[in-house]
Amino acid sequence: MAFCPSCGSALAAGSASCPKCGASGGASSAPPPPVVSMPSPASYSPPPFQGGMVLPDVSPLAIILAAAAWVLGGPLLSLPAMFIARSDIRGCREGRYNPNGLSQSQLAFWIAAINVLLGLLACVAFVLFFVFAAGVVGVAGAAAAKDIKEMEAIRVEMEGRQYSALETEIDTGIAGRSAREQELWRSVKGEWQELKKKNRGSGMFPGSVKTEELLRLVSSDRRLWQALVTAEAKVAAECGYAKPFRTRSSLPSESTPSTGDDDD
């Protein structure tokens, strides 16, 4: 069978021209090969096939959630990112997704996993800090309660003594302290003796700078401080004055000595 040399159509035997394209000339015994245009090697990237179908790319949702969780510091966003990325990795390995997206899914998975781990570590650190703080507060509270209980016991003991016994207690305690404290005690004791010799007064007990300084200096010694406070109260009651109200927390500081009654 003869064929048209122009379009390749079959020609009847003896035809001088092609009935389809009208070309004339000698017939060819075979049709010309079809012209196929090929893309350049640089621009050609064959799509992945699976059973004759192009594979879909993995969703960018996993990497978006992982990045958002890392920036916002939200482990809750990292959990769905991990599950989505793990599903995408499995799909790439099973041939359901474009294998080119495997590295993206793995990156999203590890970003989310590290964020979850950091969130867990932060929670553990917070719990440990809370337990430690609660322990410190508990120890401090127990120590304060013990201190209050001991001071109350000392106060009750001192109030049950006569002034003479308190004076002996103070003499014994002051003897082992500094010369300044011994001098102050002698001055305070002299002031109290002068008050006892005068007529009975009224109102608040007249304080003095020396008394305030002595109480401040001996405040670290609970028994000695309480003995001085109780002795002062007994002198005030004997002279008809209202006893001063004193607490260890209301002692004057060294930089601001008191010049009168302690009205705390």
Q: What is the pLDDT of residues 168-186, one digit of tens each?
A: 999 999 998 999 999 999 9
Confidence band, pLDDT 50/70/90 cuts, at residue 1: low
End-to-end CA distance of the chain: 130
Those residues with Cβ within 8 angstroms of residue 251's Cβ, 6 or more apart along the chain or in another chain: 212, 215, 216, 219
Q: Per-residue pLDDT for 158 more than 50?
A: yes
Residue 32: per-residue pLDDT:
56
DSSP class of residue 100 equals: G
Task: Report the alpha-carbon distance of residue 120 to residue 111 in Å, rounded.
Answer: 14
- Condensed to tens digits (0 to 9), the pLDDT of residues 106-133 reads 888 888 888 888 888 888 898 999 888 8
Cα 166 to Cα 64, 156, 170, 175, 194: the distances in Å are 80, 13, 6, 14, 18
Residue 143 or 213, more confident: 213
For the residues 21-26, what does the mean pLDDT come to? 67
Q: Per-residue pLDDT for 89 more than 80?
A: yes
The pTM of this model reads 0.46
Task: Report the alpha-carbon distance of residue 7 to residue 22 in Å, rounded.
Answer: 10
Are the C-beta atoms of 27 and 16 separated by less than 8 Å?
no
- Condensed to tens digits (0 to 9), the pLDDT of residues 92-111 reads 888 888 888 888 888 888 88
Q: For the chain, what are the domain ranges?
A: 57-159, 162-250
